[in-house]
Chain A
Amino acid sequence: MLVKLRNPTRQEVIDGPISVVKLLNRLKVNREEVLVIQDGTLIPGDAVLSDNAVVEVRPVISGG
């Protein structure tokens, strides 16, 4: 599956199926600091993403 990341903007290919929590662990991302978005809506932590899924891991932390 394709994972879109930011800061810097980049893409990673990860093997599915995989749960959202496992995906974030694999990417070493703290769950408190991101939302996982697919087709314009949020995907909860226990959802399993299929191998052909396209998701965005969007950071939510602002520094200003």
Chain B
Amino acid sequence: MPTKKENNKNASIKDRKCNNKNGITAWERVEIARNSNRKTALDYIKIIFDEFIELHGDRLFKDDKATVCGLARIGNQNFTVIAQQKGRNTKENIERNFGMPNPESYRKAIRLMKQAEKFNRPIVTFVDTKGAYPGIGAEERGQGEAIARSMFEMAKLTVPIIVVVIGEGSSGGALAITIGNKIIMLENAIYSILSPEGYASIVWKDSSRAKEAAEVMKLTAKDLYDFKIVDKIIKEDKEFEDVALKIKSEIKKELKELQKLSSKELVEQRYDKFRNIGEYETYSKKV
């Protein structure tokens, strides 16, 4: 168990390293993002919001605890919160399936995001997952459909959506709740097409080359910022509470800007953000 003093900090390899951003490798960030002492969504929610009431269930099959949803408030502003939640100990991890969502997570998120639209509430999502759960039941109940539908419904929402990537953002399981107007990412969070192990195993047929994979995958906050996917990086050079409060002020700031847009403009802004991802050159050879 971490000591009380450590509890006050987010997971990091060494403070010295964290303060020296040039000295930290992509793999080290992977290790920080995955560290079992790293703060989880509920830790952030507790500090960022003045109030939070959890709402359960997808109304179709069950309540998947790998995602926490609910109503929240900052000052006079109400929010709908969708958060991928890892466990903070073994018991919690089993209950929350190690933060790996089944389809019901996405269907719960869709239900509550549509409700947010009905009551004109902005949405904040917290991304932190190794990926959607690869299991028999998940496939039987349409994991692919659930992820696709979540993106599809988010893309249409007429309320502001702010995404905060706090830990691991891996594969379609993370992307499903990333279709936001603004994406904020913590300095030591990662976001990738797949885990570095999975990547190395597919591309090089050797999962032991994960470390190497992490360096080429461009999965750090800085990489995503350079690709214009992430809009804002939040430094993790202070105590955990300070970092959480920094997220809070960013949410307030971004929301203020987004609230200047009409419903139609919000949808368009989100469309343009994702429509323009991908760079090409002309293919000259005749095929």
Answer yes or no: are A and B bound together in one complex. no
List residues of chain B with CB under 8 Å of any chain A CB.
none
